[in-house]
Structure 1
Amino acid sequence: MTTTRPRRAAIAVIAAGALALSACATDLPGGSAEQSDYPTRAIDLVLPFGAGGATDLAARAMADALASELGQPFNATNQTGAQQVTAVSNVIGSADDGYTLLADGGGSSTVQSLLPDLPYAWDDRTFVARVAGGAHAYAVGAGSGIATLDELVERATSDPSSFRVAWLSGTSTSDFATLQLLQAIGVDPNEVIRVPFSGSGDAMQAAAAGDVDLASGGTSAIASLYSSGDLVPVALTGADPNYPDLPLTADLGYPELDMTYWVGLSGPAGLQESVRDTLAGTLEQLGDEGALDDSFETLGMTVDVVTGEELSTQVHEEAETFAELNALVS
């Protein structure tokens, strides 16, 4: 649910509070003094995913909006590898002054919940805001003979051992969308054939070519192949403003198929309260004003700004879901 607050008034209150803190603060334990005028220089935004994908483009749209509103550039840099661990580690090891931030999302929650012996814990990160989310599409090739979700289910359940699903890293929300479907229809994910791919785009290409029977991914990955008639999205896990006529899993009798991906903002543990409030308040303001809608709708995402404890709760619940689904795979 979007957190509603007064718009520019909220920023004024935040700034006033920060000014009061600054007037009486000295160095904080383990950190630096609170800032009343943040930001005064460029901000480094670390993107823990590859360039050109939906989450990358969404993070850059978020950065552009913040830069325009706050009057300082957000320098977005992709840092890939090690399943996002390197990027997250670099951010949580930075100063608490808000000049190095992380473009966060479901992927980092996935890694946090699945990989043992990570060099950081949940409380090493300050979650600032979740800005927007997008649905996943279950897609098949146009030549598959499948046109509906029911037909896809029939294909999968009739012979699971020959059913081929596109598989990314095993820590992708696309993979968890696939696992949700298999669980819902009573198919053991260890029986199906998991075909590895590097990204949703490649997976959708394979589905269109008939090389896999199912590909799951963000709706931005289906655009060109759906337009060309080579791909059939049989269901979406949530509404997408670009595809209002495509069926939704909940309407087809599968409300539990609700996997989404999202983009947001986080920083190191102990991120200064005045910095966090400025960033969160600005994003809430932009969300309330509809200033983010066009950029995110183009990417198939719906703006829904969530901050504070509500966000922390969502992230932890999401991680628990990922862990439960991952336990299905041997």
Structure 2
Amino acid sequence: MTQRPLFRRHFISLAALALTVPSIKANAADYPTRPIVLVSPYLAGGSADGIARAIAEAAGKELGQSVVVESKPGAEGLIGAGDVLKAQPDGYRILWGGAGSLLVATALRKNPPFDPQTAFTPITGTVDFSFFLYVHPSFPAKNFKEFIDYVKANPGKVTYATGNNQGLLTMADIEKKYGLDMVRVQYKGEMGAAPDLLANRVHAMWGTTSVSAFAKEGKLRVISTTLPQRSEVFPQVPTLREEGHRGGEFGGGWLGILGPAGMPQPIVERLQAAFTKAYQDPNVKTKLQASGLVYTPAYASPAALGKYVGEQRDLYRKTATELGMVND
């Protein structure tokens, strides 16, 4: 007797879902008819969130509807990603996601909440950004070799900040490859770590351009960068690769546009065209350049972005496993 109501509710929910999918497909031809939400899993005011707002404004002009950025930070980006994961695949709630929120966050978990390649519909991307090794100006190392030598000579005495999981993974990789003994201090975001880094309470941090203004003012020193090419933000700073150093080979990070799984192809194509054109907007280009981000047209198509997500997923899973950083 108790199973019938449960079965009936389950049947009704399946029927409702079956009705929803054709409805989404039918509305695809008129898409969009209302504002679109671009979920940013990053803190409002940060560099990644700021770029999202510039791109959203430009894409909105192409779509004829406003694109509203909604910041949903937390749990290393999983809160924002999870929000879009559960959304209707109708193109009105999409994600500004990438390496940190989709790949590193899931690679560090034994039982990740989703598979980043199958849980989302790739739309377009990406912008790539480098990580820089920041130190206090009083730190005795002027380059990466001197940094390694100093840490080795002072085991357990050098502290480093982590404001995101990408910076954490980069330093952990370098620690293992060079046999370093350092003390990690975790913060909620890079700007949360900035006061202690500026006051020399922590000595170093792999971070994005969010704290670059302090370096340009001479309050921090930049030693190295992770991506293969030098950044326009700090053209004088050599890359790890060009100096022949190991560590952080997975590079910096990247960000792209994705939606819930199962989005109709016409909606994906409409969004892909609008956001691809948005990357060419003069205001967006200026903000990307100022933040040290580089648009990568090679991943502009949904198919190319989807393939890239799968490759990156496997790389980060392998790296996290080798470093012994996968948690229950």
Cross-structure match for 2:234? 243
Contact 1:138 1:215 in 2 (8 A): yes
| 1:113 corresponds to 2:104 | no
Judged with a 3 Å threshold, the aligned counterparts in structure 2 of structure 1 residues 119 and 321 are, in CA distance, closer, same or farther, namely closer
Q: Residue 53 of structure 1: which of 24, 46, 50 is its match? A: 46
| 1:195 corresponds to 2:185 | yes
Q: Within 5 A, what are the aligned runs for 1:1-330?
A: 32-33=25-26, 35-108=28-101, 109-122=103-116, 123-168=118-163, 172-187=165-180, 191-223=181-213, 225-238=214-227, 239-254=230-245, 257-258=248-249, 259-287=251-279, 292-305=284-297, 306=299, 307-327=301-321, 328-329=323-324
Give, in angstroms, the shift of residue 94 of structure 1.
1.7
Distance 1:206 1:315 in 2: 35
Distance 2:63 2:87 in 1: 21
Distance 2:276 2:232 in 1: 21
RMSD: 2.5
Cross-structure match for 1:18? none
Give, in angstroms, the shift of residue 57 of structure 1.
0.9
The Cα offsets for residues 54-106 of structure 1, whole Å up to 9 and x where unpaired, read as 11112112211211222210111112233333322221222221011111121
Distance 1:320 1:160 in 2: 33
Contact 2:55 2:278 in 1 (8 A): no
1:57 is matched by which residue type in structure 2? G
Contact 2:163 2:192 in 1 (8 A): no
1:202 is matched by which residue type in structure 2? G
Q: How many residues align?
A: 299
Distance 2:318 2:184 in 1: 19
Cross-structure match for 1:3? none
1:227 is matched by which residue type in structure 2? K
Distance 1:37 1:49 in 2: 31
Structure 2 residues not aligned, in runs of 5+: 1-18
Question: Please, what TM-score do these two structures have when normalized by structure 2?
Answer: 0.82
Give, in angstroms, the shift of residue 265 of structure 1.
0.9
Judged with a 3 Å threshold, the aligned counterparts in structure 2 of structure 1 residues 226 and 153 are, in CA distance, closer, same or farther, namely same
Distance 2:290 2:120 in 1: 30
Structure 1 residues not aligned, in runs of 5+: 1-25
Judged with a 3 Å threshold, the aligned counterparts in structure 2 of structure 1 residues 295 and 183 are, in CA distance, closer, same or farther, namely same
Cross-structure match for 1:5? none
Aligned identity (percent) is: 23
Give, in angstroms, the shift of residue 235 of structure 1.
0.9
The Cα offsets for residues 121-160 of structure 1, whole Å up to 9 and x where unpaired, read as 3312112122312111001110112211111011122233
Give, in angstroms, the shift of residue 231 of structure 1.
0.9
Judged with a 3 Å threshold, the aligned counterparts in structure 2 of structure 1 residues 49 and 289 are, in CA distance, closer, same or farther, namely closer
